[in-house]
Structure 1
């Protein structure tokens, strides 16, 4: 009996030492990655679709990366700021606003650069941008909508004070416009393409503000190491999805069309309005001191300050990191 009790005691002691040894190694390495998935928030935008394509192709699953779909970018921002999600697909102007408010984050990927995908559409009785004076313009309650509208109105010596702003979330753009509750709307694909097909008039698009609307993937600094392997999985899946889009366009577009309710041909046309940099192009954009992306964000910051969209210029030198992409490239 004593021997049996002694054997049990030795097993228990050995188990305790094993646990202590594991914890010691984890503490020594400085990295103890969570087993919970990385929660990544997006709103509906054609440029973000490679994330969902990567998931559908099996490049990551909900045990590693969980995509959280929000009705609007303002919802994505709120959840990211509140730490409901750890990563988010945002525009650079939104990143600058979050940094101004003190949120510590890292920009790790340029997802796309808008080259016509963002636009101002109007009802048939609106002749041009100048004709927006006194009209109702639907704008999402986010930095991007205000930024696009401000840049457009500048062309005709108008300001946002010269129009009637109607706050409209992204998932309401189409319904509000088609029911003629607004005279114009600042929107983006897939809604842009659907409204154009319904007879909307395009007054302005992002080709007239080149390299100013850049979509990026950001991660909270406090989740940087905690979800490192999940982040690498996300990046690797993203580039595999881009490759699949290029090599198997018909199959890929059929998959995307089911999600965003555009025909494959409409998607092909919409793709002309954005550029998704590949891995090497991304490395070129994010690497360097200062990186090309940082230089671009500095110019954007100045424009936003000049138009009262930022209280002060924001520098992103400590927030842009090519390190995860370098890890993807090395494997």
Structure 2
């Protein structure tokens, strides 16, 4: 029986729609089958995830996760390029990454820096004010740059009082050993290597002087969060188990052994790093997610970082802080 041309066209269109729907369905199944890819780097609050990795706690939680190890800057580059679904970074650097095209949402606060981020100076330099007229190396626009500027502001110094030299954070030990550089900014364990590279050097300012200035977070691609929210919820719930294992005196030696091996140092060298990192339980994270204008709040801290970034032309447009922060997964993980 002959079909009317309009009817045949309708059937062809319906067929295409059904095929497209099937393809999209297959794509969604494929996406769901893929492990969540998380980039992490050498900071105690992120190396902490190594405990969960080696203890198979993600499998226990029913979520497939693949952690990929990077130098810090490279982890953010990989995230922006879409090679990983999430990345561990500071709240201020989440804004820098987002402004550069790597849109992200901070779903978990792992810790805040409590002394492990440092401005370290060569022998004879006793304070930030002693750096006036000298060269200080930091990675432009990243967290140590903010730490240095805050230290200068507290000391009553102007922006031009110190000459900023841009350098990669993981290269700071070599940079510090050069003749012209009076001080560098970095975090543990890299800053510890810098201190060893220049005997007699010491910290002149640390994140212990600015608790809450630097929150460390797990930031996720918004599309991944939307498509696999239940899986990300499971990842967040694992975090309390990690913190408990690291902080329990009975299990801490094993945790430190695992973390030290990932960072390539001895457990004896690694243990002091925990003192400079305030790991946050989910309950403590819920409190930090409360809106506020100071360093006690992730919102307040991030807005301060945003003002710094915009003022220093790290990016061209002030970022909308609320779009970067989602407290709901931490709130639900009880």
In 2 relative to 1, CA 286–127 (structure 1 residues): closer, same or farther, beyond 3 Å? closer
The answer to whether the Cα contact below 8 Å between 1:33 and 1:225 also exists between their aligned partners in 2 is: no
* Within-5 A mapping of 1:279-318: 279-286=282-289, 292-305=297-310, 309=314, 311=316, 313-318=318-323
In 2 relative to 1, CA 169–103 (structure 1 residues): closer, same or farther, beyond 3 Å? closer
The answer to whether the Cα contact below 8 Å between 2:188 and 2:273 also exists between their aligned partners in 1 is: yes
The answer to whether the Cα contact below 8 Å between 2:111 and 2:217 also exists between their aligned partners in 1 is: yes
The answer to whether the Cα contact below 8 Å between 2:87 and 2:220 also exists between their aligned partners in 1 is: yes
Match of 2:71 in 1: 71
**1:275-308 deviations in whole A, cap 9, x for unaligned?**
1110212223336799942243234434544555
Matched, 1:274 2:272: no
In 2 relative to 1, CA 288–163 (structure 1 residues): closer, same or farther, beyond 3 Å? closer
**1:299-322 deviations in whole A, cap 9, x for unaligned?**
443454455556554332233223
In 2 relative to 1, CA 282–128 (structure 1 residues): closer, same or farther, beyond 3 Å? closer
Q: Distance in 2 between matches of 1:234 and 1:292?
A: 22
**1:154-186 deviations in whole A, cap 9, x for unaligned?**
233434533333332222122332455632110
Superposition CA RMSD, Å? 3.1
Match of 2:207 in 1: 206
The answer to whether the Cα contact below 8 Å between 1:43 and 1:69 also exists between their aligned partners in 2 is: yes
Match of 1:133 in 2: 132
The answer to whether the Cα contact below 8 Å between 1:121 and 1:201 also exists between their aligned partners in 2 is: yes
Matched, 1:328 2:326: no
TM-score by length of 1: 0.79
Matched, 1:249 2:244: no
CA-CA distance at 1:189 after TM superposition: 0.7
The count of corresponding residues between Structure 1 and Structure 2 is 303
Q: Distance in 1 between matches of 2:30 and 2:41?
A: 31
The answer to whether the Cα contact below 8 Å between 1:106 and 1:321 also exists between their aligned partners in 2 is: yes
In 2 relative to 1, CA 236–119 (structure 1 residues): closer, same or farther, beyond 3 Å? same
TM-score by length of 2: 0.78
* Within-5 A mapping of 1:176-255: 176-178=175-177, 182-196=181-195, 198-247=199-248, 248-255=251-258
CA-CA distance at 1:126 after TM superposition: 2.7
Q: Distance in 2 between matches of 1:176 and 1:98?
A: 25
Question: Is there any run of 5+ residues in structure 1 with no aligned partner, and where?
Answer: 1-19
The answer to whether the Cα contact below 8 Å between 1:33 and 1:227 also exists between their aligned partners in 2 is: no
